[in-house]
Amino acid sequence: MDINEPKKDYNAPMHTAEHIINQTMVRMFRTGRSVSNHIEKKKSKVDYKIERALTTEEIAGLETEVNRIISLNLEVRESYLSREEAEMRVNTDKLPPEAGDIVRIISVGDYDHCPCIGLHVKNTSEIGGVKIISSDFDPDKNILRIRYKREASE
């Protein structure tokens, strides 16, 4: 496979929105990035390891902040770093050993930087907006699931 060709065929606007949701969860609630996700064109879901459910107000605040970041019309760029340099600059915990010595980093403006093999928009203006349609919390696993859809400005 060519290093310049993304491997995951995710819907680019929804996948880029997932990057923004991840970073917003990290900043607002001190979670890690999602522990699992399922990205689709119509609706997507992301799961976070967290000790509690989020309140209705917190979910609304998350949605507001994600849409604020999207509205900044941030450029989405890719760069390639040696694995060693990537490990010094970004969280590479999910990077499998077989990923190789060159790591593709996706940057959403200066807001988020992470290794990724998926498709992305070129600018957050292409996302439109995001609506969180539901969330639920599994107290046995300490997993918060957030479901969202895109509210495109097409």
pLDDT per position as a tens digit, 9-57: 789 999 999 999 999 999 999 999 999 999 999 999 999 999 999 999 9
Handedness of CA 4, 9, 97, 23 (dihedral sign): positive
Assigned fold of 12-150: Threonyl-tRNA Synthetase; Chain A, domain 2 (3.30.980)
Q: What is the token pair recorded at 5?
A: 């060709």
Query: Phi/psi at 26 (nearest 5 deg)?
Result: -60, -50
Beta strands 44-49 and 130-138: pairing type? unpaired
DSSP 3-state of 105? strand
Tell me how far apart the alpha carbons of residues 85 and 4 are, in angstroms, rounded to a whole number.
18
pLDDT at res. 154: 46
pLDDT at res. 7: 56
Per residue in 56-85, pLDDT (tens digit) is 999 999 999 999 999 999 999 999 999 999
For residue 112, which of 15, 3, 2 has the smallest C-alpha distance?
A: 15
Amino acid at 105: I
DSSP 3-state of 94? coil
Q: In the chain, which ranges are continuous DSSP H helix?
A: 12-29, 56-71, 83-89
Q: What is the pTM of this model?
A: 0.92
